[in-house]
A and B are shown apart, each in its own frame.
Chain A
Amino acid sequence: MEGAWVALALTLKVAFWATALNLLFGVGIGYAMARWRFAGREVLDAVFTLPMVMPPTVLGYYLLVLIGTHGPLGAWLLKHAGIRLIFTWQGAVIAAMVVSFPLVFKGARAAFETVDAQLENAARTLGIHEIAVFFRVSLPLAWRGILAGLLLSFARALGEFGATLMVAGSIPGRTQTLSIAVYEAVQAGQDDVANFLVALTSITCIAVLLAAGRLVPGRVAPRD
């Protein structure tokens, strides 16, 4: 059973980093899509939403082609930085991040669209520069929607299987996350291990979803 706790720790670590990266990119891109008008905006939106509907194995394959040691990005990283992403936990982070990205991005875009642009304009006429307007007006008013998206993304990253297996493989203690460990345990006929892993995963996911449910964007969130 000790392996189960190692797998849980690894899963949480991967999901945490994937969510942290999604916070950065998802919020940034979500804001840009909500506020800037440019040609091809909706096409780009569809591209960013694609991971939500594509089979994870297909995404994993794309990632292998891109960041594998012979892929354009992977070869460059190996040559210039000595970084190898395939079969590492960092690779698992990238897989989990790509798969759960739309949840943060979609949530952030919708949340920013509900923020009245007039409020941002008011802040500008009060002499507040653009970056400060984002942190003082847009972000506090969109925060609930973003947080709900982040929690969903965290839950999705916890359960990631297909893309992670393609990119990071299933190395016990190094890249074997909970969902992959469940698969391996069932394949090996270790029913009690599987039962334990499944219960552990279910409890973790329910906890995350309950937290997300309390943060569903309502009306304006009064803060003190």
Chain B
Amino acid sequence: MAAVIWDVDLKRVLVHEGSRFELGVRFASDASRLVLYGPSGAGKTQTLKMIAGIARPDSGRVAVAGRTLFDSKAGIRLSPQDRRLACVFQDYALFPHLSVRQNIAFARRSGWLNPSPQVHDAQVDRWIAAFHLESVAGHLPHQISGGQRQRTALARALVNEPTALLLDEPFAALDNALRQRLRGELKDLQAQLRLPMLLITHDDDDVRLLADQVVTLQAGHVVEAPANQEAAFVG
């Protein structure tokens, strides 16, 4: 477990309607379950977006599982398409015009057309079964429950065998009982796939139940290095 999985050093200055926000996030960790923790507005989502390649940092470096995705000094900047990171967004960002099956099959087709509603694909069927989505596979995202939406988003992200999993507040939209159950499911899934996972949250329970290590972010900067994780467990 000595190999560094997450190697992140990112700088970005955001100017929005006259106010200036300076983001300088730097951490390195060998944890296969890393939690990025902090209050809202700390820059967690921005950090995740920069790792995923959908927001552009001013400078810095990102390497995940030994693969350099971004390095401003070396002139490396992989597109989000080439990073092979599975992302689960806060509101799940399911395609509202496509069924659960089509959402999950989305990445299985690279052309200009969406997968057909009847698409059959071993990987798609495998994930639909794994997340118990058979009964709602033909439904649109707005017709299914919050928990099913979260599972659909996970399945969609995992279907193309990514190298790591990034999750932005994956439990925030769910009620308490469901949250507890899905935390357990996610933990089992991660262990089963042995897929490095980075989870963003402002919820102490997520930290306590899911984190191997914690990076705490405040006002755009890391305030606690992963080494002294005990501090995070106190609260």
* Residue A128 lies at the interface, judged by CB distance under 8 Å to chain B: yes
Hey, which chain B residues are within 8 Å of A135, CB to CB? 112-113
Pair A126/B83 contact, Cβ less than 8 Å:
no
Interface flag for B157 (CB, 8 Å): yes
B79 close to chain A: CB less than 8 A: yes
Q: Kindly supply a per-residue 1/0 record for chain A positions 113-130, scoring 1 wherever the CB is within 8 Å of any chain B CB and 0 otherwise.
A: 000101101111111110
Question: Which residue from B83, B91, B96, B114 sits with its C-beta under 8 Å from A125?
Answer: B83
**A132 and B89 within 8 A (CB):** no
Q: Which residues of chain B come closer than 8 Å to A121, judged between CB atoms?
A: 49, 52, 54, 80, 89, 93
Are B111 and A221 closer than 8 Å at their CB atoms? no
In the assembled complex, A220 has its CB within 8 A of some CB on chain B: yes
Q: Is the CB of B95 within 8 A of A137?
A: yes
Tell me which residues across on chain B come within 8 A of A214, comparing CB atoms.
Answer: none
Q: Which residues of A contact B89 (CB under 8 A)?
A: 118, 121-122
Contact A127 B93 (CB under 8 A): no
How near does chain B come to A114, taking the closest CB pair, in angstroms?
11
Q: Is B84 an interface residue (CB 8 A)?
A: yes
Contact B81 A221 (CB under 8 A): no
- Of B79, B110, B117, the contact of A124 (CB 8 Å cutoff): B79
Question: Which residues of B, 102-134, contact A by the 8 Å Cβ criterion?
Answer: 106-107, 110-114, 117
- Check A158 for interface membership: any CB of B closer than 8 A: no
- Whether B87 sits at the interface, judged by CB under 8 Å, is yes
Contact check, B110 vs A127: say whether CB atoms are below 8 A apart: yes
Asked if B54 and A126 sit within 8 Å, CB to CB, the answer is no
A140 on the interface (CB 8 Å rule)?
Answer: yes
Residues on B with C-beta less than 8 A from A122 are 87, 89, 93, 95
List B residues 61-95 near A (Cβ within 8 Å).
79-87, 89, 91, 93, 95
Task: Check if B110 sits within 8 Å of A222, measured CB to CB.
Answer: no
Least Cβ distance of A139 to chain B in Å?
Answer: 10
Q: Which of A27-47 contact B (CB under 8 A)?
A: none
A126–B157 CB distance below 8 A:
yes
| Chain A neighbourhood of B52, CB < 8 A | 121, 125
Query: Shortest Cβ distance from A143 into chain B, in angstroms?
Result: 9
Task: Enumerate chain B residues within 8 angstroms of A129, measured Cβ to Cβ.
Answer: 81, 110
Segment 183-224 of A: residues with Cβ below 8 Å from B: 220-224
A60 and B160 CA atoms in complex are apart in Å by 55
Q: Please, which residues of chain A bring their CB within 8 A of the CB of B106?
A: 123, 126, 128, 136
Assign chain B's interface to a size class: 20 to 34
Given contacts A123-B106, A126-B160, A128-B107, contact A140 B81 (CB under 8 A): no
Q: How far does the Cβ of A191 sit from chain B's closest Cβ, in whole Å? A: 52
At the interface, yes or no: A54 with Cβ under 8 Å from chain B?
A: no
> A166 at interface (Cβ–Cβ under 8 A)?
no
- Those of A85-99 within 8 Å (CB) of chain B: none
Q: Which residues from A are CB-within-8-Å of B16?
A: none
Known: A116-B93, A119-B95. A124 touches B54 (CB 8 A): yes
Task: Give min CB distance, A117 to chain B, whole Å.
Answer: 9
Shortest B64–chain A CB gap in Å is 13
In the complex, the chain B residue whose C-beta lies closest to that of A140 is B97
Nearest-CB distance from A56 to chain B (Å)?
38
Choose one: A118, A128, A141, A222; the contact of B81 (CB below 8 Å).
A128
Closest-CB distance, B46 to chain A (whole angstroms): 13
A53 within 8 A of B: no
Q: With contacts A121-B54, A141-B96, A220-B96 known, what are 15 further pairs, Cβ within 8 A?
A: A118-B89, A119-B93, A121-B49, A122-B93, A125-B52, A125-B157, A127-B81, A127-B107, A135-B113, A136-B114, A137-B95, A140-B114, A220-B97, A222-B96, A223-B97
**Nearest 4 CB-CB pairs, A to B?**
A126-B107, A122-B93, A124-B80, A121-B54
What are 11 A-B interface contacts by the 8 Å CB criterion? A116-B93, A121-B49, A123-B106, A124-B54, A125-B86, A125-B87, A126-B106, A127-B81, A129-B81, A132-B110, A222-B97
